[in-house]
A and B are shown apart, each in its own frame.
Chain A
Amino acid sequence: MPFQHIVFAIEDGVALLSFNRPAQLNSFNTAMHLEVREALKQVRHSSEARVLLLTGEGRAFCAGQDLSDRNVAPGADMPDLGESIDRFYNPLVRTLRDLPMPVVCAVNGVAAGAGANIPLACDLVLAARSASFIQAFCKIGLVPDSGGTWLLPRLVGMARAKALAMLGERLGAEQAEQWGLIHRVVDDAALRDEALALARQLATQPTYGLALIKRGLNASFDNGFDDQLQLERDLQRLAGRSDDYREGVNAFMNKRTPAFKGR
């Protein structure tokens, strides 16, 4: 069945997933959540996808939760927001972090609420110069979710994390780059081409090795030095068994360009 709320295709090793509710600034309702989940499942089980590129259609990247999808009328039962997080947002960011391939995120415009934190669960974030990150949660009495409270202090330090989360002010893309929240700022007009070029480049790389790098770096926040050294040993063992490692060494020895298969 065709998707309604996202654009999704796998081509030349690149899986492109673009939020597509431009009139609602690509905010999440249940239907979009389900389509994103289905697309990510296809990426995980695809034999050809070697990189995921995540972006948004129109002028926004993603404005977080669509509040019109929430029932908080006076007299209505108190909603259980934890349930929606359990069902949708947590599985989504877990999937992005666990996906065994690089995940590139092209933030094409405003990224607010959960939409500001979803990029942080990706591996390489590019942002248009006009894009901005807004931890809008505090403005409506909520807490940063989708990993925000965990990722922000680790990316920008506690002082800046608290300022972002408690003031809910707009953080411009250039500032986000200076703070180390994202990888790189790109001119608006060039964002999609640059992101695609990066994704295509990554799709030619040793995907399995990159997935192991991702596993190691993601685990580093939870491990002590010694545990991490042991993890490195185990990941290197796995990497050393890959076809791409053999190809890489062989190509280096014979002074030729390696042809990686991603295995």
Chain B
Amino acid sequence: MSRQSNRTTDSKKMNAELFTLTYGALVTQLCKDYENDEEVNKQLDKMGYNIGVRLIEDFLARSSVGRCQDFRETADVIAKVAFKMYLGIAPSVTNWSPAGDEFSLILESNPLVDFVELPDNHTSLVYSNLLCGVLRGALEMVQMAVDVKFSQDTLRGDNVTEIRMKFIKRMEENLPAGDE
């Protein structure tokens, strides 16, 4: 077959609005299905995790990124390569802890919340919590246990959206042979 036929597996560019709306529909449905926001947050995180453990393979297959030797490198790859690839934005990396095991991703704009205003009765809903799950799941597959949470959110009146990432440990027991 011709070269053209292989194009089908190339990642397709698509309209971000469709993605935003689909995500909105998902969150709305979860809010209907579950009584409280905490439960919705938990479900979003779980879904995100399941997406992350699969998405990492797509990421590694398409980008020629090797194994990260330290957390700073990981931060760079996430912000400059991964976010760019899947959400079309490049968050900035700041607020490093002195030990270098914690940093923040600052999102000037978050494509997930483009048309969203939080109603008053959803004060504890972390609308974009799916992202935390995705990051956690993906990093777990490359043997890094990381704690991910939103510490600022424009939806809740903050100036920027901030995702805080905390490195917990390297999961040595899961390390594939030949990657010590």
A is bound by B: no
Give B contacts to A, CB under 8 Å.
Answer: none
Chain A contact residues, CB within 8 Å of chain B: none
